[in-house]
Chains A and B, each alone.
Chain A
């Protein structure tokens, strides 16, 4: 940085008298730096930097009875959000038809299961039904919904009520008491 030469200008001169010393123009910055960092610390601690994001959730209108065509069980993958962050899913069969219950974890395992099953269904007929049980946490629900976004599953539903058949199925096959 440019500095003003504030030196005495060559020291003593031959004449014998001493020039009056000029005051230095340099300011001690230390207190100002202290203050600056103090304020930075305050702002870091008192504020939130990243704004949280949000996912939109649309639920069906309860007041209107919509006529919908029944979905074939062979196109449906029903995932039950069980306890201890485990997922039990059935695919291609209704709960009454003695389907195979597969248990997977969240994240990659679930994603792979959804993608594999989606490939078995022709066209865009693939439907995922997410059924959180009472053992599931809110995080499990959000993770499952997020997985729909990741796998780009267009048709999915969040259903919060378990059928008696399904309760029985989970009890018999994976020993999950509901």
Chain B
């Protein structure tokens, strides 16, 4: 059989996929966001993602690897901790994480495979957003210190309860962050709806 045409098609599709694709990053949490009709795209860079999973656990991540290290250095300085180069490197490779600062060092010293198996307990938050044990506020603050241009995206799971989202919201508000993006899936607007 003449395979030439089939080969052409296969490579055409391959080229298309290579050019349009974006690699799926390794996420700590499985989050399935709700859908909205909003067509605003999430920015590619300078983005901080606060993820909220089904059980209400909070995960945090920023996009740039160098900024991740700078952020870790800031946190270490603020909390009186120190991380070695290996731990920093491991931290830089994590797209998002959900461990309290106290457990972070031992979590980072694990090797990759073991780290994947660990059930991350989530970053501690509280309802006022300003309490000492609220670590999300420290991460947000130090991430912005590392990169002041960071925009904030909240990615919540459809079935996470509202009070958990409220805790994240009040943490951000306590930091005087009053504008942020909610990451959602895309949904078609109702028939006849126009954006004006």
Interface residues of A (CB under 8 A from B): 1, 28-30, 32-33, 36-37, 39-40, 43-44, 46-63, 81, 111, 132-143, 145-146, 149-150, 160
> Is there a chain A Cβ closer than 8 Å to B102's Cβ?
no
Of the candidates B4, B11, B24, B36, the one whose C-beta lies within 8 Å of that of A53 is B36
**Nearest CB of B to A124, in Å:** 15
Which applies to chain A's interface (DSSP): helix, strand, loop or mixed?
mixed
Inter-chain pairs besides A40-B14, A47-B17, 17 sampled, C-beta below 8 Å: A32-B3, A36-B13, A40-B13, A53-B38, A53-B41, A53-B183, A54-B41, A56-B181, A56-B182, A62-B173, A111-B190, A139-B158, A142-B184, A143-B34, A146-B36, A146-B37, A149-B37
Write the chain A residue with the least CB distance to B18. A43
- The answer to whether B13 touches A62 (Cβ under 8 A) is no
Interface residues on B, range: 35 or more
- The answer to whether B4 touches A29 (Cβ under 8 A) is yes
**Nearest CB of A to B140, in Å:** 15
Of the candidates A1, A28, A29, A49, the one whose C-beta lies within 8 Å of that of B21 is A49
- The answer to whether A139 touches B159 (Cβ under 8 A) is yes
Within 8 Å CB of A32, what residues of B? 3, 7
**Nearest CB of B to A148, in Å:** 10
CB within 8 Å for A55 and B38 given contacts A137-B158, A150-B189? yes
Interface residues of B (CB under 8 A from A): 2-7, 10-11, 13-14, 17-18, 20-24, 33-34, 36-42, 52, 153, 155-166, 169-170, 172-174, 176, 178-187, 189-190, 193
Of the candidates B13, B18, B184, the one whose C-beta lies within 8 Å of that of A52 is B184
- The answer to whether A57 touches B186 (Cβ under 8 A) is no
Within 8 Å CB of A33, what residues of B? 3, 6-7, 10
**Nearest CB of A to B6, in Å:** 5
Q: Whole-angstrom distance between the alpha carbons of A48 and B183 in the complex?
A: 15
- The answer to whether A52 touches B183 (Cβ under 8 A) is yes
Q: Whole-angstrom distance between the alpha carbons of A39 and B38 in the complex?
A: 33
- The answer to whether B162 touches A141 (Cβ under 8 A) is yes
Of the candidates B52, B153, B164, B169, the one whose C-beta lies within 8 Å of that of A59 is B169
Write the chain A residue with the least CB distance to B185. A52
Within 8 Å CB of A47, what residues of B? 17, 21-24
Of the candidates B40, B161, B166, the one whose C-beta lies within 8 Å of that of A54 is B40
CB within 8 Å for A81 and B162 given contacts A142-B34, A150-B190? yes
